[in-house]
Amino acid sequence: MRPLLLLLCLLPAFADEKAPALPDPDEAAYPAIERFVEVLEQVRQRHPDVDKLAYDRLVNHALEGMLGSLDPHSSFIHPEMAAAMAAHPDLDPHIPSLGLTLGLRQGGPYIANVLPGSAAAELLPGSALQEIDGQPTAGLELPTLLSRLTGEAGATVTLKLKSPVEAKPLELTLTHHAIDERAVAESRLLDDGQTGYLRLSSFTDAAPREMEAALDEMEDDGMKRLILDLRGNPGGSLPATVRILGLFLPPETEVVTTRGREMEDEVLSTPERQRRQRDYPIAVLVDRMSASASELTAGALQDLDRAEIVGETSYGKGSVQNIIPMGGGTALRLTIATYHTPSGRTPHLTGVTPDVEVEITEEIRENTALSFRRDTLTPEEIKALEGWTDPVLAAALERLAR
């Protein structure tokens, strides 16, 4: 027996006996692993590109495909990326203004993940990144790559990519989206003087404090109902999420449960004390880019009949990931648990379905993005917004008026 086959055939012996039963018995692993090795050897014997046939390279790329098939948030971390992350632990490979996550592997940088609805939504994960603004990426270190991909809102970057499924490289020009630095990006009373509007851009550690201060001010000015806008909000801190839910729900209300195969359920509840009682009607706005903490907030308020959700089905990120070091200098970013709202449902891979669904066209998305940065619009962009009414906001106002 080949040494590699012997090694792979031993893998089932390390399975955790306490974990729930898998869909097939351990015996099924042997023919499956043997099939993998047979394919591996056929590739090594017959493929003409000999420089691509090292065992490490082939197996690592196979593992990349395996992790990518599980869910959008699990991924294989190649040795090159693992080394770069160790050398630069403070660097985040995600570019929020483009909606893409960068990875490194033996062949160079590649697109590890993209967010739907973002500037990079049309990119295919796994695509090799060959050039940035006409400059080759070969040999560049992670900080340099991230620096060249970063830009101000409205700036463009041209990428040359080699897709895993296309024969020829393609060039795409992406436009950076605006990223709000403050958690509370906007808070104001609408024209009726009684409806408060608060747009939360992210769930930072400071978000509950910022949000409470904004609510206090609007309440003191006569707010009787609230529209909480979570559109485009990618999420953030779980403790901050629970504290924000505590602004609108009774103390010690169970709002989030974490469930995993190798852990007991962990139930999180709102804080023991509530400074102000806020029992006015609430509408929460979500779209396909509302993710993670946004979905938990919307889902919990929906489950507990505390708010109505307006917009479109959210992104579907309700899971916990761990970085697990592996052999050969590699690592796994693996989903190990899911988050659940009070009713027991999880937004993982399904999202939160709104009570009031609004069909959102690309024109609406573009205008909404412009409306979020009114202070920095060009004259042409200002003209494009003239006479435009946000249909999601309008639907929420109609619902609250009932």
Please list the active-site residues: 292, 303, 317
Whether the Cβ atoms of residue 156 and residue 175 lie closer than 8 Å to each other:
yes
Q: What is the largest CA-CA distance in the chain?
A: 78
Whether the Cβ atoms of residue 336 and residue 262 lie closer than 8 Å to each other:
yes
**CA 363 to CA 378: how far, in whole Å?**
17
3-state SS, 173-214, equals EEECCCCCCCCEEEEEECCCCCEEEEEECCECCCHHHHHHHH
Residues 165/169/175/181 CA torsion (nearest 10 deg): 70
Where is 362: in which H helix or E strand? helix 362-371
**CA 320 to CA 329: how far, in whole Å?**
23
- Separation in Å, CA 35 to CA 3, 22, 45: 15, 20, 15
Residue-by-residue DSSP string for 297-313:
HHHHHHHTTS-EEEES-
Residue 101's Cβ-side half-sphere holds a number of Cα atoms within 13 Å equal to: 17
- Tokens found for residue 102: 């960068």
- Tokens found for residue 132: 């940035």
